Amino acid sequence: MRLLYVEDERLIRESVAKQIQKMFPLEVFTACHGEEGLELFKKYKPEIVLTDIRMPVCDGLEMTRQIRELSQDTIIVIVTAYADFEYARTALQYQVHDFLIKPITIKSVQETVCELIEMVKVKNMDRDNKLQIQISDMLHGLISSESLFWKKQVILSGCRIQEYQKIGGFTPSDSGLILYAVKNIIEELLELKKQKIQYCLISESYNMFYLIFYTEYFHSTMQTQQIEYQIKKLCEEMVDVLENNLFLPIAHIETGFFDGRDLYSKYLEVEQCMENDRTNQHMIIQMKDAKLEEERIIYALWKDKKFDQVAEKLVLYFNKTNSIQERQNLMIRLSYYLYIAMNEEKGEKQLIFKEFYDSFPKIKREFSEMEIAVRTTETLKKLTEKMEKMEKKILHPVIYNIQKDIRDNYSEVKLLKDYAKKYNINATYLSELFVKECGKTFSDIVTDIKMDKAKNMLNEPDARVYEVAVKLGYHDGRYFSQLFKRCTGMTPKEFQKRCDKYE
């Protein structure tokens, strides 16, 4: 995230910029007048602009007017003296977010920038969700792709997960977790390659997804070929990670670059190829005997903080072999499964995989399975404490506590106004705070938590749909089934049958 600070007083400019960089993980750019500020804005496109009004060469108001011609999304705050207030009123027509009154203090800057960062996050989340829906509609021919992909070239990659019974541990209920892993892998690979390539991940079904990469046309044919090669290489690396780390055999097909306006016709071609080409080389099952049931159990025990039982399971887990290399491979496999399962449940990426994996003990020849289990259990305890602290810092404490209340008492969830009364907060403000902090309404959060619980309950042997509904506080079984289908694409019965099929 980037911030532009425009101020003609050098000492103030440097001091405030330095403090902002200390307090927030932002790229901060500074300018001494509006003309320089406008050039920096065009070059770096910052999400946030703080600007003084009265400056030489070009004042802040004129710069704001020109920025608004370039972008309607940038959040702009005017820094002004009391004497400038009437003059600053005219800035309202340029959709200025707020005014900071001089002399500004570190506290006022901190509070303002903190609020602006949260606004940018909410805006980005809304924009990304809308964009994904729009691209999905374009992919499936519901709307024309010309508006978004005019003068853009696109590569489309179709990916299918092999039949689940051939994989071992995964079931259709894990499809969301797998897609989350795909997104993390792509983002890390894109970051490593430092390429400004835009992409969108579209889920087609529980075992089929599409990746859409798009970029501007290049003047050089050689540059186009280089970028095309890099995207295809990226897809191969993604498939390699899924196959070798998660033991998921993947069939995939990529196109070359094509005109973005032809997205729907290319989608039909790729879909037909995926249907016909069942012998694609990427369909080879590299570890068809791999099972993930042990990792599931360990994750469930870790999540419930049953560390004694975690240690017992880990002893059995590493007792399968005496080979250092094979035990190290088991550690990689376990840590990666725990990583994606944790991030899927949290709904956001709190740690990058390297940081997560590096915290696990390194296998040594002299370590017994008991010592490995004890060291790994201690690691999981520390990770639990670390993530709980991070979650408390990330979420507003009231939202954090309400979500915890809902998870602990999912069968008797209170109304929003009841939680507002419990935490002594205005109900309207609490409703807005949920959207601001989570990107979802209170009722959506409650539904998400209950549907996650429902999946776990329905996976249990002999689970009855109406009993699950009652346990979750739904006394109308039909309504529960409709809600479950709306959230998962399957009725509870279909969900159970599909999971039973692949157990």
Take residue 22 and report the two structure tokens written for it: 């200390």
215 residue type, one letter: T
Q: Cβ distance 394 to 404 under 8 Å? A: no
Q: How many angstroms separate the CA atoms of 206 and 174, rounded?
A: 8
What's domain 139-283's architecture? 2-Layer Sandwich (3.30)
Per-residue pLDDT of the chain (503 residues; tens, 9 = 90+): 889 999 988 888 888 899 888 888 888 999 999 999 999 999 888 999 998 888 888 988 889 889 988 888 888 888 876 555 556 566 666 777 777 777 788 888 888 888 888 888 777 776 777 788 888 888 888 888 888 888 889 999 888 876 654 444 556 566 667 777 788 888 777 754 555 678 888 887 777 889 999 888 877 888 888 888 888 888 888 888 877 777 777 888 888 889 998 898 888 888 777 765 443 333 333 323 345 678 888 988 898 888 999 999 999 999 888 888 788 878 877 887 787 777 666 655 556 666 777 888 888 888 888 999 999 999 999 888 887 776 655 567 788 888 888 888 888 888 888 888 888 888 888 888 888 777 778 888 888 888 888 888 887 777 888 888 888 888 888 888 888 888 777 888 887 776 554 44
What's domain 397-502's architecture? Orthogonal Bundle (1.10)
287 residue type, one letter: M
Answer whether 2-123 and 139-283 agree in fold.
no
Q: How many angstroms separate the CA atoms of 228 and 472, rounded?
A: 49
Smallest CA-to-CA distance from 77 within 1, 5, 2 is with 5
pTM given for the model: 0.41
HEC sequence for 452-479: HHHHHHHCCCCCCHHHHHHHCCCCCHHH
Per-domain boundaries in the chain: 2-123, 139-283, 293-391, 397-502
Length of the chain: 503
Q: Cβ distance 294 to 313 under 8 Å? A: yes
Q: Which residue has the tokens 């003047």?
A: 219
* Pairing verdict, β 152-161 and 208-216: antiparallel
CA triple 498-331-461, angle to 5 deg: 25
Q: Cβ distance 201 to 186 under 8 Å? A: yes
Take residue 290 and report the two structure tokens written for it: 């791999």
403-to-109, 228, 376, 475 alpha-carbon distances in Å? 30, 44, 29, 22
- Rounded to a whole number, what is the largest CA-CA distance in the chain? 78
Q: 2-123 sits in which CATH class?
A: alpha beta
Helix axes 369-394, 397-408, angle to 10 degrees: 120
Cis before 25? omega within 30: no
Take residue 421 and report the two structure tokens written for it: 């009364």
Q: What is the pLDDT of residues 50-93, one digit of tens each?
A: 988 888 889 888 898 899 888 888 888 888 765 555 565 666 66
Percent over 70 (pLDDT), the chain = 84
- Going by C-beta distance under 8 Å and a sequence separation of 6 or more, which residues neighbour residue 65? 94
R_g over Cα of the chain: 26
Q: Taken in order 212, 213, 215, 221, is the CA torsion positive or negative? A: negative
Cβ neighbours around 64 below 10 Å, total: 25
Q: What is the pLDDT of residues 95-121, one digit of tens each?
A: 777 777 777 888 888 888 888 888 887
Q: What is the pLDDT of residues 393-429, one digit of tens each?
A: 556 778 888 888 888 888 888 888 888 888 888 888 8
- Going by C-beta distance under 8 Å and a sequence separation of 6 or more, which residues neighbour residue 487? 447, 448, 451
- Going by C-beta distance under 8 Å and a sequence separation of 6 or more, which residues neighbour residue 438? 395, 399, 445
Type and span of the H or E element at 48: strand 48-52
